[in-house]
Amino acid sequence: MVSSAFIGSSFIIKKKGLRKAGVSGPRASSGGYGYLLEPLWWIGMITMIVGEISNFVAYIYAPAVLVTPLGALSIIVSAVLAHFLLKEKLQKMGVLGCLLCIVGSTVIVLHAPEERSINSVEEIWELAIQPASVIAIALVLILYFSPRYGQTNILVYIGICSVIGSLTVMSIKAVGIAIKLTIEGINQAKYFQTWVFAMAAITCIITQLNYLNMALDTFNTAVVSPIYYAGFTSFTILASAIMFKDYSGQGASSIASELCGFLTVLSGTAVLHNTREPDPSTLPDLYTPLSPKVSWYIQGNGEHWKQKDGGGSPPDFITILRQDHFK
């Protein structure tokens, strides 16, 4: 609950920082990094770090399929704060979507499997090479879909954040288990796998935050938060199921109940997505002319003449068409 409060608030603080940075330079969605000089963005970043540290502690002592769904509380925090602080109106159906996400998360938690016992980081290493499909999905989204559809489809940036986020959780959980075993007297720092997991966690966190900034700067926060939650939760549970075999030994009824929980969560995100209001900053300016502007003229003898801006207007010619009238 503590992590959800901090993470939900960080969305709003970072969004306000991104807006301030976008006034004086290129926006994050356009590849700009001016937000790194914005103190408000760093306050949001620190808030998110505090929330993630709380998550880190939870992942050490509980299975990922139990901890991750509880992040639904951050949806309520960010949606409510966005409504009052960012003036991003949350429709009544959006509130219903939030409630559906919470109900689905509750069902998932009630039927979550127990975590298997891990005795060394080497055992985690053997398990870590299995979720290769998740890595492949991340690469396809980053290399192909992001440059083509990232600015117009919210699911691209959020998909990258979700997939990379699931890998972040797996890496952080491995590091957390290594720290726990070391504290218990079984030194794990001597294994190179521990340091590989640590570097993987740092790399995934940086990548995840970069695309999350792009999503926040491009789309409505009240929509980014729940869709990110649903995708992140789904991919984390998938990666955890592949890596730690969480569902081995579970009955059909428990698995069916968790699937119903997933469908409820996805229904909630669909409702939120369909009721979202587009950001004014992402709407095209219908009155911005093309550059350079081209004008066509016709002389009395029927001869045509074309001129670009800056060339001066020839006398005795009558403008009959400007290309920017069709924009």
pLDDT of 133 reads 59
pLDDT of 236 reads 82
Average pLDDT score over residue span 102-114: 79
- What proportion of the chain, given as a percentage, has pLDDT over 70? 76
Render pLDDT for 127-150 as a digit per residue (tens, 0 to 9): 776 656 567 777 777 777 777 877
pLDDT of 103 reads 87
- pLDDT above 90 for 4: no
44 vs 133, higher pLDDT:
44
- pLDDT above 50 for 286: no
- pLDDT above 70 for 161: yes
pLDDT of 99 reads 86
Residue 285 pLDDT class (50, 70, 90 cuts): very low
pLDDT of 73 reads 72
278 vs 178, higher pLDDT:
178
What is the spatial distance between Cα 137 and Cα 92, in angstroms, rounded to a whole number? 34
- 306 three-class SS: strand
Q: How far is CA 226 from each of CA 68, 92, 272, 320, rounded to the nearest angstrom?
A: 13, 15, 8, 51
Compute CA 21 distance to the chain's CA centroid, rounded to the nearest angstrom. 19
Average pLDDT score over residue span 199-227: 83
- pLDDT above 60 for 16: yes
- pLDDT above 70 for 293: no
Q: Which of 24-38, 85-99, 164-178, 268-282 has the lowest mean pLDDT?
A: 268-282
- pLDDT above 70 for 19: yes
Render pLDDT for 294-313 as a digit per residue (tens, 0 to 9): 444 445 555 545 444 445 54
Q: Are 88 and 82 in contact (CB under 8 A)?
A: yes
The model's pTM: 0.61
21 vs 309, higher pLDDT:
21
- 68 three-class SS: helix
pLDDT of 254 reads 83
Residue 43 pLDDT class (50, 70, 90 cuts): very high
pLDDT of 288 reads 40
Residue 257 pLDDT class (50, 70, 90 cuts): confident
> What is the DSSP secondary-structure string of 5-29?
HHHHHHHHHHHHHHHHHHHHS--GG
Q: How far is CA 253 from each of CA 105, 111, 249, 264, 300, rounded to the nearest angstrom?
A: 17, 9, 12, 16, 84
Average pLDDT score over residue span 114-126: 75
Compute CA 290 distance to the chain's CA centroid, rounded to the nearest angstrom. 33
Q: Report which secondary-structure segment, H or E, holds 170.
A: helix 154-183
Render pLDDT for 48-71 as a digit per residue (tens, 0 to 9): 889 878 878 887 777 777 777 777
Contacts of 263 (CB under 8 A, 6+ apart): 104
- pLDDT above 80 for 212: yes
- What proportion of the chain, given as a percentage, has pLDDT over 90? 3
Residue with tokens 């699911």: 155
pLDDT of 264 reads 85
